[in-house]
Chains A and B, each alone.
Chain A
């Protein structure tokens, strides 16, 4: 199946009709955004891998069960599933009264093809990634949540409001504060986020 010219909608329909290769195309198309969303939310690499798997397994189960209502926003739907699984995870963790303090650093060279970039570029890009990740981590949880849902999931503010159980105005307000805080943090840290 040609990935570049086939819409998510067509791939979903193809998978539902029995084309198993379609789901692989869909996963590969969206895997980085979904994984980044999970990782930046939970800040734990091994756990992010587990939740990434759980997310797509749930996606597949839902598709098979006919639970997906196609509105042309497949990625947003996947991100909402990931979001719910993350919430479930923290609920379980809270119940078990255990606090995860594993904030292990992500392998910044994760699956990068070294041959595609020279080492210097790779290091600079990795530093930028790390700095941005730090910025995002410094946002209050509610603001970070809105930023990640909007950017990586492409959710509307109505969808973000529904997903996070707040009003649209509150979601918009949180985003506004997030932008102000990000700009302030960038200035305070005197960061240069240019990719060479």
Chain B
């Protein structure tokens, strides 16, 4: 125990930096869970695949289209990032909408029990991830050869942002990568928060979250709001996927599973259905995980998130900021 405390103290600022970077990514994925939960009161188990799709697009953008060979700077960096971000976000947003159409809407129409939604979402998640596993140019589906997009082996993504130290804060050196991830997440979270709070669309989302029936009586098109909510959640996961690709330089068909579970944990930690809660929960979970790994061997890192999840659900199932409709 003493060793643990001193080890955490030694690496405190470095792990805080790692935790914030990781937490930023979790927070962005968590938004998708929490927004969908807000309007539909169910967990989108397939959200991890929405995230995965974006890491694949990032792989193509950085590794193929722009063929990045060494870390970029300045205008070139900004240009490449934006040019990669747009297709990544669109791909994830589209995947999320497709999931809503195929796995949720038919059940919603019928008023199926909650269990059905969960099972359907698990099926969608399994199908999407294995579709990418099969897309290596060697497999056929209904006699059509699947394109060689990903396949079973993980692909590495080149370094786009420099990992040279930029500045030192309390003895921990921050690289451009860390700064970029944390800063861009902060911007996107603020933008989303403003959209949901101030625009007409945001009002529609909040109305459906609060009371779908009354909202529809007031002229809100529920189906449209739900699709847009899935899309926005998907877009955020798309951005998260790109940042994840920048940070960890890898994509694979099954890469969504752990970040997905952790982001879900983050959403629950902050209070599911609560946007600011998801943001707070993501950052907190990132920090807990980073400091936890300073204490234990790295191969226990994934257990930490699960223990946090179980702990939160037992002690305060409504999360830190409380459960509510998207707000």
Do A and B come together as binding partners?
no
Give B contacts to A, CB under 8 Å: none
